[in-house]
Amino acid sequence: MIPDPPIISEDDMQKCRDTGDYCPVLFEWYKFVMSVCYVFANLMQESPVVRKDISGRDYAVLIGLMNRCAKLMHSNIDLSHKSEFGETTSIIDRCIFESSVILDWLCTNDNEDKFDRYIASGFRTELELKDQILKAIDKRGGDHLQIEDRMLASVDRHLEEAEFDDESVKSTKPLPDLAAMLVSLGQDRIMYTTGQRIGSHHVHGTWVGLRMHYIDREQDGVFRTKGKTDTHVNQYVYIPLIVLETLGNFVRFLFVGSDEETESVLGLFDSIHQEILDINLEVVGSDFAVAEK
**Per-residue pLDDT tens digits for 63-101:** 999 999 999 999 999 999 887 899 999 999 999 999 999
The whole-number pLDDT of residue 19 equals: 95
Residue 286 scores a pLDDT above 70: no
Q: Give residue 200's pLDDT.
A: 87
Domain boundaries, given as residue ranges, for the chain? 10-111+192-200+231-284, 114-172
- Given a cut of 80, whether residue 290 has pLDDT beyond it is no
Phi, psi of 177, deg, nearest 5:
-75, 170
- Is pLDDT at 287 greater than 70 in this prediction? no
Share of the chain above pLDDT 70, in %: 97
Residue 31: predicted pLDDT:
96
What are the angstrom distances between the C-alpha of 39 and each of 3, 76, 81, 233, 246?
9, 18, 22, 25, 14
What is the model's pLDDT at position 289? 64
Which pLDDT belongs to residue 244?
A: 96
Query: How many CA atoms lie less than 13 Å away from 29 in the CB half-sphere?
Result: 28
In the chain, the percentage of residues whose pLDDT exceeds 90 is: 80
At 291 the pLDDT is 66
> What is the spatial distance between Cα 71 and Cα 56, in angstroms, rounded to a whole number?
22
For residue 173, name the pLDDT band (cuts at 50, 70, 90). Answer: very high
Q: What does pLDDT average to over the chain?
A: 92
Report which of 103, 126, 76, 94 is spatially closest to residue 231, judged by C-alpha positions: 76
Among 55-59, 76-80, 81-85, 132-136, which is the least confidently predicted range? 81-85
Q: Which residues pair with 225 in a beta bridge?
A: 215
31, 38, 102, 117: which is closest to 246 by C-alpha? Answer: 102
Q: Give the pLDDT band of residue 192 (cuts 50, 70, 90).
A: confident
Asked if the model's pLDDT at residue 258 lies above 80, the reply is no
Give dist(CA 252, CA 172) in Å, integer: 27
Angle at 287 between CA 15 and CA 18, to 5 degrees: 15
User: pLDDT per residue over 7-17, tens digit each?
Assistant: 999 999 999 99
